[in-house]
Amino acid sequence: MGWVEDFAVELDPASQGGVYPNSQINGRVVLTCTKAKNARSVSLILEGKVITEVSYNSGSGQDSHRQTDRRVDKINSPEVFLWRPSADEPLEPNTYSWPFTVVVPPNAPASRRLYGVEVTYQIKAQVDLPMQIDATRKVPVVVHSVPPPALVPVPASGDLSTDVYFCCCLNRGRAVAPYTIDSTSVSKNKEVVVRLDFDNQATKDIKVKASVSQRLDVQANHHRDSSSRTLGRAQETVAKMSGSSVVLTVPLDPGHTQASEWWQTFQTSHLLKVQVAGSKFSHVITVYGATGPGPAGLAPPAGIVPTQPQQGYPPQQQGYQG
Protein backbone atom coordinates (compact mmCIF):
# COMPACT_ATOMS: atom_id res chain seq x y z
CA MET A 1 0.00 0.00 0.00
CA GLY A 2 2.36 2.68 -1.25
CA TRP A 3 -0.40 5.28 -1.12
CA VAL A 4 -0.84 4.97 2.67
CA GLU A 5 1.61 6.34 5.20
CA ASP A 6 -0.52 5.73 8.29
CA PHE A 7 -3.76 3.84 8.91
CA ALA A 8 -4.83 3.18 12.51
CA VAL A 9 -7.82 2.58 14.79
CA GLU A 10 -7.45 4.46 18.09
CA LEU A 11 -9.82 3.66 20.96
CA ASP A 12 -10.69 6.19 23.65
CA PRO A 13 -9.14 5.36 27.07
CA ALA A 14 -12.57 4.39 28.49
CA SER A 15 -12.92 1.69 25.82
CA GLN A 16 -9.41 0.27 26.03
CA GLY A 17 -9.96 -1.66 29.26
CA GLY A 18 -13.10 -3.33 27.96
CA VAL A 19 -16.77 -2.61 27.36
CA TYR A 20 -20.17 -4.02 28.26
CA PRO A 21 -23.07 -5.28 26.14
CA ASN A 22 -25.13 -2.34 24.86
CA SER A 23 -22.40 0.14 25.77
CA GLN A 24 -20.60 2.44 23.34
CA ILE A 25 -17.11 2.01 21.90
CA ASN A 26 -15.65 5.40 21.04
CA GLY A 27 -12.51 6.28 19.16
CA ARG A 28 -11.19 7.55 15.87
CA VAL A 29 -9.76 6.24 12.61
CA VAL A 30 -6.66 7.99 11.31
CA LEU A 31 -5.66 7.69 7.65
CA THR A 32 -2.74 9.47 5.98
CA CYS A 33 -2.64 9.31 2.18
CA THR A 34 0.54 10.14 0.30
CA LYS A 35 -1.20 10.30 -3.07
CA ALA A 36 -4.72 10.42 -4.44
CA LYS A 37 -6.60 7.11 -4.30
CA ASN A 38 -9.99 6.13 -5.70
CA ALA A 39 -12.08 4.40 -3.04
CA ARG A 40 -15.71 3.44 -2.62
CA SER A 41 -15.83 4.14 1.13
CA VAL A 42 -14.08 4.13 4.48
CA SER A 43 -16.10 2.17 7.03
CA LEU A 44 -15.90 0.54 10.43
CA ILE A 45 -17.61 -2.40 12.12
CA LEU A 46 -17.48 -4.34 15.39
CA GLU A 47 -16.98 -8.01 14.57
CA GLY A 48 -17.77 -10.65 17.18
CA LYS A 49 -17.17 -14.34 16.78
CA VAL A 50 -18.41 -17.25 18.93
CA ILE A 51 -16.60 -20.52 18.18
CA THR A 52 -17.81 -23.75 19.78
CA GLU A 53 -16.10 -27.11 19.36
CA VAL A 54 -17.20 -30.59 20.45
CA SER A 55 -14.94 -33.65 20.05
CA TYR A 56 -16.56 -37.05 19.77
CA ASN A 57 -15.84 -40.66 18.83
CA SER A 58 -16.81 -41.73 15.34
CA GLY A 59 -16.93 -45.27 13.99
CA SER A 60 -16.42 -48.45 15.97
CA GLY A 61 -13.74 -51.04 16.58
CA GLN A 62 -10.58 -50.50 14.56
CA ASP A 63 -12.33 -47.77 12.59
CA SER A 64 -12.99 -45.71 15.72
CA HIS A 65 -11.43 -42.24 15.67
CA ARG A 66 -11.89 -38.80 17.18
CA GLN A 67 -13.56 -36.03 15.26
CA THR A 68 -14.28 -32.41 16.12
CA ASP A 69 -17.50 -30.63 15.23
CA ARG A 70 -16.94 -26.87 14.94
CA ARG A 71 -19.50 -24.09 14.73
CA VAL A 72 -18.90 -20.37 14.17
CA ASP A 73 -21.51 -17.69 14.92
CA LYS A 74 -21.02 -14.00 14.21
CA ILE A 75 -22.17 -11.06 16.32
CA ASN A 76 -21.66 -7.91 14.25
CA SER A 77 -22.72 -4.34 14.83
CA PRO A 78 -24.19 -2.34 11.94
CA GLU A 79 -21.49 -0.97 9.62
CA VAL A 80 -20.57 2.69 10.22
CA PHE A 81 -19.50 4.66 7.13
CA LEU A 82 -16.88 7.30 7.90
CA TRP A 83 -16.34 8.58 4.37
CA ARG A 84 -18.03 8.20 1.01
CA PRO A 85 -17.04 10.02 -2.19
CA SER A 86 -19.27 12.55 -3.87
CA ALA A 87 -19.30 11.70 -7.58
CA ASP A 88 -15.78 10.54 -8.56
CA GLU A 89 -13.99 12.31 -5.71
CA PRO A 90 -10.85 10.38 -4.64
CA LEU A 91 -9.13 10.32 -1.28
CA GLU A 92 -6.72 13.24 -1.72
CA PRO A 93 -3.22 13.29 -0.19
CA ASN A 94 -3.96 14.37 3.36
CA THR A 95 -4.30 13.17 6.95
CA TYR A 96 -7.89 12.26 7.83
CA SER A 97 -9.28 11.75 11.32
CA TRP A 98 -12.80 10.36 11.67
CA PRO A 99 -14.38 9.96 15.14
CA PHE A 100 -16.66 6.97 15.56
CA THR A 101 -19.13 5.44 18.00
CA VAL A 102 -20.15 1.78 17.82
CA VAL A 103 -22.71 0.13 20.11
CA VAL A 104 -22.02 -3.40 21.34
CA PRO A 105 -25.01 -5.67 20.60
CA PRO A 106 -27.14 -5.97 23.78
CA ASN A 107 -27.04 -9.77 23.87
CA ALA A 108 -23.31 -10.10 23.15
CA PRO A 109 -21.73 -12.79 25.37
CA ALA A 110 -18.63 -11.90 27.34
CA SER A 111 -15.19 -12.46 25.85
CA ARG A 112 -13.84 -15.83 26.96
CA ARG A 113 -11.61 -18.77 26.14
CA LEU A 114 -12.87 -21.92 27.81
CA TYR A 115 -12.92 -25.60 27.01
CA GLY A 116 -14.84 -25.78 23.73
CA VAL A 117 -15.83 -22.08 23.68
CA GLU A 118 -14.03 -19.01 22.37
CA VAL A 119 -15.66 -15.56 22.17
CA THR A 120 -13.65 -12.73 20.61
CA TYR A 121 -14.34 -9.20 19.35
CA GLN A 122 -12.48 -6.72 17.18
CA ILE A 123 -12.99 -3.31 15.61
CA LYS A 124 -12.23 -3.44 11.88
CA ALA A 125 -11.70 -0.32 9.77
CA GLN A 126 -11.70 -0.78 6.01
CA VAL A 127 -10.96 1.26 2.91
CA ASP A 128 -13.05 -0.29 0.13
CA LEU A 129 -10.94 -0.18 -3.03
CA PRO A 130 -12.40 -1.04 -6.46
CA MET A 131 -10.71 -3.99 -8.18
CA GLN A 132 -8.02 -4.17 -5.46
CA ILE A 133 -7.43 -5.75 -2.07
CA ASP A 134 -9.08 -3.56 0.56
CA ALA A 135 -6.94 -1.82 3.16
CA THR A 136 -7.92 -2.93 6.69
CA ARG A 137 -6.89 -2.34 10.28
CA LYS A 138 -8.11 -4.39 13.25
CA VAL A 139 -8.03 -3.74 17.01
CA PRO A 140 -9.15 -6.35 19.59
CA VAL A 141 -11.88 -5.39 22.06
CA VAL A 142 -12.80 -7.12 25.33
CA VAL A 143 -16.49 -7.41 26.28
CA HIS A 144 -17.11 -7.94 30.00
CA SER A 145 -20.06 -9.56 31.77
CA VAL A 146 -22.46 -6.92 33.02
CA PRO A 147 -22.23 -6.41 36.80
CA PRO A 148 -25.55 -5.68 38.50
CA PRO A 149 -25.83 -2.02 39.58
CA ALA A 150 -27.30 -3.16 42.93
CA LEU A 151 -27.32 -6.85 43.73
CA VAL A 152 -30.32 -7.68 45.94
CA PRO A 153 -29.72 -10.79 48.11
CA VAL A 154 -31.85 -13.80 47.21
CA PRO A 155 -31.78 -16.02 50.33
CA ALA A 156 -32.72 -19.68 50.42
CA SER A 157 -33.16 -22.25 53.18
CA GLY A 158 -33.51 -25.96 53.72
CA ASP A 159 -33.13 -28.77 56.24
CA LEU A 160 -30.39 -31.40 56.17
CA SER A 161 -31.42 -33.12 59.40
CA THR A 162 -30.63 -36.81 59.21
CA ASP A 163 -29.99 -39.96 61.21
CA VAL A 164 -26.32 -40.84 61.50
CA TYR A 165 -25.37 -44.48 60.96
CA PHE A 166 -22.28 -46.59 61.48
CA CYS A 167 -21.66 -49.27 58.84
CA CYS A 168 -25.06 -48.45 57.30
CA CYS A 169 -27.07 -50.13 60.05
CA LEU A 170 -26.02 -48.92 63.52
CA ASN A 171 -27.87 -45.72 64.38
CA ARG A 172 -25.49 -43.32 66.16
CA GLY A 173 -28.10 -40.64 66.76
CA ARG A 174 -29.51 -37.70 64.85
CA ALA A 175 -28.02 -34.54 63.35
CA VAL A 176 -30.45 -31.63 63.35
CA ALA A 177 -29.25 -29.23 60.64
CA PRO A 178 -31.59 -26.55 59.27
CA TYR A 179 -29.63 -24.13 57.09
CA THR A 180 -29.91 -20.83 55.24
CA ILE A 181 -28.00 -19.41 52.29
CA ASP A 182 -27.30 -15.69 52.52
CA SER A 183 -27.94 -15.28 48.80
CA THR A 184 -28.23 -17.54 45.76
CA SER A 185 -27.25 -14.55 43.59
CA VAL A 186 -23.63 -13.46 44.03
CA SER A 187 -20.94 -11.54 42.22
CA LYS A 188 -17.96 -13.47 40.89
CA ASN A 189 -15.61 -11.64 43.26
CA LYS A 190 -17.68 -12.54 46.36
CA GLU A 191 -18.34 -15.70 48.42
CA VAL A 192 -21.30 -17.99 48.90
CA VAL A 193 -22.23 -18.16 52.61
CA VAL A 194 -24.17 -21.05 54.20
CA ARG A 195 -25.30 -20.90 57.85
CA LEU A 196 -26.42 -23.93 59.88
CA ASP A 197 -28.02 -23.98 63.32
CA PHE A 198 -26.45 -27.36 64.02
CA ASP A 199 -27.41 -29.72 66.84
CA ASN A 200 -25.28 -32.86 66.77
CA GLN A 201 -27.17 -35.45 68.84
CA ALA A 202 -25.06 -38.29 67.44
CA THR A 203 -22.25 -40.10 69.25
CA LYS A 204 -19.68 -39.18 66.60
CA ASP A 205 -18.16 -36.02 65.13
CA ILE A 206 -19.85 -34.89 61.92
CA LYS A 207 -18.32 -33.05 58.99
CA VAL A 208 -20.35 -30.33 57.31
CA LYS A 209 -19.35 -29.58 53.71
CA ALA A 210 -20.26 -27.07 51.03
CA SER A 211 -18.93 -26.57 47.51
CA VAL A 212 -19.72 -24.52 44.41
CA SER A 213 -19.23 -26.04 40.96
CA GLN A 214 -19.35 -24.48 37.51
CA ARG A 215 -20.76 -26.33 34.50
CA LEU A 216 -20.26 -25.47 30.86
CA ASP A 217 -22.62 -26.92 28.24
CA VAL A 218 -21.50 -26.57 24.63
CA GLN A 219 -23.31 -27.27 21.37
CA ALA A 220 -21.63 -27.41 17.95
CA ASN A 221 -24.04 -28.25 15.14
CA HIS A 222 -25.38 -31.74 15.96
CA HIS A 223 -23.10 -32.58 18.90
CA ARG A 224 -23.07 -31.49 22.53
CA ASP A 225 -20.59 -31.73 25.37
CA SER A 226 -20.30 -30.55 28.96
CA SER A 227 -17.55 -30.03 31.50
CA SER A 228 -17.50 -28.98 35.14
CA ARG A 229 -15.05 -27.86 37.79
CA THR A 230 -15.19 -27.05 41.48
CA LEU A 231 -14.68 -23.34 42.15
CA GLY A 232 -14.48 -23.47 45.95
CA ARG A 233 -15.02 -25.62 49.03
CA ALA A 234 -15.60 -25.13 52.75
CA GLN A 235 -15.77 -27.63 55.60
CA GLU A 236 -16.34 -27.62 59.36
CA THR A 237 -16.48 -30.40 61.96
CA VAL A 238 -19.10 -30.42 64.73
CA ALA A 239 -18.15 -32.42 67.83
CA LYS A 240 -20.39 -35.24 68.98
CA MET A 241 -23.26 -34.50 71.35
CA SER A 242 -22.90 -30.75 70.93
CA GLY A 243 -24.64 -27.82 69.33
CA SER A 244 -22.99 -25.16 67.21
CA SER A 245 -23.71 -22.34 64.80
CA VAL A 246 -21.75 -23.24 61.68
CA VAL A 247 -20.86 -20.73 58.97
CA LEU A 248 -19.46 -22.12 55.72
CA THR A 249 -17.91 -19.45 53.50
CA VAL A 250 -17.22 -20.81 50.02
CA PRO A 251 -14.81 -18.63 48.00
CA LEU A 252 -15.08 -18.55 44.21
CA ASP A 253 -11.83 -19.19 42.34
CA PRO A 254 -11.12 -15.78 40.73
CA GLY A 255 -9.03 -17.32 37.97
CA HIS A 256 -11.73 -19.67 36.68
CA THR A 257 -15.11 -18.25 37.73
CA GLN A 258 -17.24 -17.10 34.82
CA ALA A 259 -20.53 -15.27 35.13
CA SER A 260 -23.66 -17.37 34.68
CA GLU A 261 -24.48 -16.86 31.04
CA TRP A 262 -26.65 -18.34 28.36
CA TRP A 263 -26.23 -18.00 24.65
CA GLN A 264 -27.53 -19.99 21.72
CA THR A 265 -24.57 -22.44 21.63
CA PHE A 266 -23.31 -22.51 25.22
CA GLN A 267 -24.45 -22.11 28.81
CA THR A 268 -22.44 -21.48 31.97
CA SER A 269 -24.29 -22.45 35.17
CA HIS A 270 -23.40 -22.85 38.86
CA LEU A 271 -24.48 -25.22 41.61
CA LEU A 272 -24.06 -25.07 45.40
CA LYS A 273 -23.91 -28.44 47.16
CA VAL A 274 -24.36 -28.78 50.93
CA GLN A 275 -23.75 -32.07 52.77
CA VAL A 276 -24.27 -33.22 56.36
CA ALA A 277 -23.31 -36.86 56.95
CA GLY A 278 -25.35 -38.78 54.34
CA SER A 279 -27.79 -35.94 53.65
CA LYS A 280 -27.16 -33.74 50.59
CA PHE A 281 -28.91 -30.89 48.88
CA SER A 282 -28.14 -28.68 45.86
CA HIS A 283 -29.12 -25.12 44.95
CA VAL A 284 -28.70 -23.30 41.63
CA ILE A 285 -26.49 -20.23 42.10
CA THR A 286 -26.52 -17.25 39.74
CA VAL A 287 -23.09 -15.63 39.40
CA TYR A 288 -22.91 -12.11 38.00
CA GLY A 289 -20.01 -10.03 36.73
CA ALA A 290 -17.75 -8.50 39.36
CA THR A 291 -19.18 -5.64 41.40
CA GLY A 292 -17.44 -2.32 41.79
CA PRO A 293 -16.21 0.09 39.11
CA GLY A 294 -15.96 -1.36 35.65
CA PRO A 295 -12.87 -1.33 33.43
CA ALA A 296 -11.26 2.10 33.28
CA GLY A 297 -14.04 3.38 35.55
CA LEU A 298 -16.70 2.47 33.00
CA ALA A 299 -20.14 2.02 34.50
CA PRO A 300 -22.56 -0.51 33.01
CA PRO A 301 -25.19 1.10 30.77
CA ALA A 302 -28.48 1.90 32.44
CA GLY A 303 -31.31 -0.55 31.97
CA ILE A 304 -29.12 -3.50 30.94
CA VAL A 305 -29.81 -6.68 32.86
CA PRO A 306 -27.21 -9.48 33.01
CA THR A 307 -28.15 -12.57 31.05
CA GLN A 308 -29.70 -15.36 33.10
CA PRO A 309 -29.01 -19.07 32.75
CA GLN A 310 -32.05 -20.86 31.39
CA GLN A 311 -33.46 -24.27 32.15
CA GLY A 312 -33.42 -26.82 29.35
CA TYR A 313 -31.11 -27.31 26.40
CA PRO A 314 -30.71 -26.29 23.67
CA PRO A 315 -31.85 -22.72 24.45
CA GLN A 316 -34.13 -20.85 22.10
CA GLN A 317 -32.75 -17.31 22.24
CA GLN A 318 -31.11 -16.17 19.04
CA GLY A 319 -27.94 -14.11 18.90
CA TYR A 320 -26.92 -11.57 16.29
CA GLN A 321 -26.17 -13.39 13.08
CA GLY A 322 -23.61 -12.07 10.67
Average pLDDT, the chain: 84
- Residues with Cβ within 8 Å of residue 81, at least 6 apart in sequence: 41, 42, 43
Angle (nearest 5°) at CA 211 between 196 and 308: 105
Q: Where are the beta strands (DSSP E) in 35-132?
A: 41-58, 65-76, 80-83, 94-103, 112-114, 117-128
CA dihedral of residues 317, 143, 12, 85 (deg, nearest 10): -40
Angle (nearest 5°) at CA 167 between 163 and 168: 50
pLDDT of 188 reads: 86
Q: How many CB atoms lie within 10 A of CB 127?
A: 25
pLDDT of 295 reads: 40
53-101 pLDDT per residue, tens? 998 888 777 777 788 899 999 999 999 999 999 877 889 999 999 999 9
Q: For a pLDDT cut of 90, what percent of the chain falls above it?
A: 50
183-237 pLDDT per residue, tens? 999 988 889 999 999 898 888 889 999 999 999 999 998 889 999 999 999 999 9
